[in-house]
Amino acid sequence: MMTRPGSIIISAAMSTVTRRDFTRLLALSGTAGLLPISALGRSRADLGPDDFDWTNAPLPQTPAAPDERFWRDVRARFLVPRDLTFLNAANLCPASLPAIEAHEKNLRLYEASPSPDVRSGLMTRGKEESRKILAEALRVTPEEIVITRNTTESNNFVSSGLDLKAGDEVIVWADNHPSNLNAWRTKAQRFGFTVVTVPTVPAHPGAAGYVELFAKAFTPRTKLVAVTHVSSNSGDMLPVADICAAARARGVLSLVDGAQAFGVLDLDLSIIKPDFYTGSMHKWPCGPKEKGLLFINRAVQDRVHPSVIGVYGGQVGISRTFETHGQRDDASIAALTEALKFQGSIGRAVLERRSRQLARALMDGLRALEGVKLWTDPDPARSAAIVIFQPGTLDVRRLGTALTEKDRIIVTTRTGQQWPGLRMAPHFYNTMEDIDRTVAAIKKYLASGV
């Protein structure tokens, strides 16, 4: 990579001590963007092209056919060091530099003067701009967007907010996250309605198979179906538009948990047509932590009650009543804008293609290794960018530790579950080199043991 104006530099070859020094300097300087190159103790002349890793310069325009060079440029907008292969997007993503810098700028502005003027600038204009961009990204209207803390809270706002009573039924999928499974069961005990659980299946049954599974569960008493767009346990992608349509045809509400879809799939909620859709900004959108999304379809807004009543609601639509959470972290809410703009500037369809390309390459590489059992269905109609597999008979916990400590590859280990093994979730900040390194590491441990 070439030197760019405003570049921040850390060498992949830097010694541990230098890296620690760098971290301290980063903390002292307050902003990565202000860190002078000399702070690294090396002059520009000492640095080779491979040393360049981070930059806050604007990302070049996405080429018609983005190559590895472009994706390395994208990666340079993340603080994850080059020698760390981060494959854990399904858990938590690094925020992009534009999001970090916007957050920091907002915070400094705020803390320099928490006056009504500055506060309302962030809380009103900043938050509403974030809402507008969220709505654009999902192809819906700002009047249908609530900015929450995370998917967990969003799911709970739905299960706590509907008028459900004895005799009513709610269909859930056994593979839902606890916030969309246990939460329904707990509220059923309180309000008297019944939860009907659609079981998981050993392998993706195809879109029609999944629709049939859910359709079989509908009864005249069904009031809502709660599903997950992309499963964090199997990697299965559900035909959510079809499931929502089946629900709608029966006058049943739909809640889609998009925690593993929002920020990686090029979503169009005007096609999926859920009544409720939820997500987290700290996962695939690479935004600030503890920010979530709740979409409430205009058509059903009069059927759900807010769970928190306070002040400082949003300016438009459902946010007026659903966001009155009292004082919030306005600086980071306003920074959602830059996170979403950054992804939008690459192009959401381009980003989805890239993440899928990385997941595909990973699946192809793993499948070629003797002993690997891929749980995730590689058909792009059946999965997105989550890859789950069993690495032969290797002890998964030890393997996870070895990957982190020896190979600097970050993944999730899964033991004692329906699909045991490793979960890897590549995203647009990964490179093909990351994928090759990972497949090579798994190959090495399959051959040598761990």
Ligand X SMILES: Cc1ncc(COP(=O)(O)O)c(C=O)c1O
232 contributes a contact to ligand X by CB under 6 A: yes
Q: Judged by CB under 6 A, which of 156, 179, 337, 438 binds ligand X?
A: 179
Nearer to ligand X, 7 or 260 (CB): 260
Nearer to ligand X, 8 or 264 (CB): 264
Nearer to ligand X, 54 or 284 (CB): 284
Residue 261 φ/ψ region, left for φ over 0, alpha for ψ in the -120 to 50 degree band, beta for the rest: alpha
Contact 139, 270 (CB under 8 A): yes
Which residues neighbour 58 within 8 Å (Cβ) at sequence distance 6 or greater?
none
d(CA 251, CA 207): 21
Residue 434 is which amino acid?
Answer: D
Please state the closest distance from residue 92 (CB atom) to ligand X, in A.
8
Buried b (16+ CB within 10 A) or exposed e, 361-389: bbbebbeebeebebbbbbeeebbbbbbbb
159 contributes a contact to ligand X by CB under 6 A: no
Q: Judged by CB under 6 A, which of 280, 343, 376, 383 binds ligand X?
A: 280
Nearer to ligand X, 130 or 232 (CB): 232
d(CA 348, CA 356): 12
Please state the closest distance from residue 17 (CB atom) to ligand X, in A.
35
The packing angle between helices 396-405 and 432-448, to 10°, is 130
Q: Judged by CB under 6 A, which of 7, 228, 376, 383 binds ligand X?
A: 228
Nearer to ligand X, 77 or 282 (CB): 282
Span near ligand X by CB under 6 A; candidates 38-46, 257-265, 269-277, 438-446? 257-265
Using DSSP's 3-state secondary structure scheme, residue 134 falls into helix
Span near ligand X by CB under 6 A; candidates 242-250, 255-263, 398-406, 424-432? 255-263
Residues contacting ligand X: total by CB under 6 A: 11
Using DSSP's 3-state secondary structure scheme, residue 64 falls into coil
Nearer to ligand X, 130 or 151 (CB): 151
156 contributes a contact to ligand X by CB under 6 A: no
Please state the closest distance from residue 307 (CB atom) to ligand X, in A.
15
Q: Judged by CB under 6 A, which of 7, 56, 106, 150 binds ligand X?
A: 150
Q: Judged by CB under 6 A, which of 246, 259, 339, 358 binds ligand X?
A: 259
Using DSSP's 3-state secondary structure scheme, residue 424 falls into strand
260 contributes a contact to ligand X by CB under 6 A: yes
* Residues between 312 and 341 with contacts to ligand X, criterion CB under 6 A: none
Give the Å distances, CA to CA, from 27 to 97, 286, 287, 381, 399: 15, 21, 20, 44, 33
Q: What is the enclosing helix (H) or strand (E) of 247?
A: helix 240-249
Please state the closest distance from residue 231 (CB atom) to ligand X, in A.
7
152 contributes a contact to ligand X by CB under 6 A: yes
Q: Which two tokens stand for residue 339?
A: 């996170």
Please state the closest distance from residue 150 (CB atom) to ligand X, in A.
3
Nearer to ligand X, 236 or 275 (CB): 236
Span near ligand X by CB under 6 A; candidates 75-83, 149-157, 339-347, 403-411? 149-157
The DSSP string of 353-385 is HHHHHHHHHHHHHHHTSTTEEE-S---TTTB-S
Span near ligand X by CB under 6 A; candidates 21-29, 147-155, 325-333, 348-356? 147-155
177 contributes a contact to ligand X by CB under 6 A: yes
Q: Is 57 exposed, middle or buried (0-12, 13-18, 19+ CB in 10 A)?
A: middle
Q: Is 8 exposed, middle or buried (0-12, 13-18, 19+ CB in 10 A)?
A: buried
151 contributes a contact to ligand X by CB under 6 A: yes
Nearer to ligand X, 85 or 228 (CB): 228
257 contributes a contact to ligand X by CB under 6 A: yes
Nearer to ligand X, 32 or 158 (CB): 158
234 contributes a contact to ligand X by CB under 6 A: no
407 contributes a contact to ligand X by CB under 6 A: no
Nearer to ligand X, 33 or 258 (CB): 258
Nearer to ligand X, 8 or 386 (CB): 386
383 contributes a contact to ligand X by CB under 6 A: no
The DSSP string of 253-293 is EEEEE-TTTBTTB---HHHH--SEEEEETTSTT---SS-EE
d(CA 65, CA 347): 12
Which residues neighbour 344 within 8 Å (Cβ) at sequence distance 6 or greater?
133, 136, 137
Nearer to ligand X, 151 or 383 (CB): 151
Q: Which two tokens stand for residue 4?
A: 């760019």
Q: Which two tokens stand for residue 3?
A: 């030197």
Binding site residues, ligand X, CB under 6 A: 150-152, 177, 179, 228, 232, 257, 259-260, 280
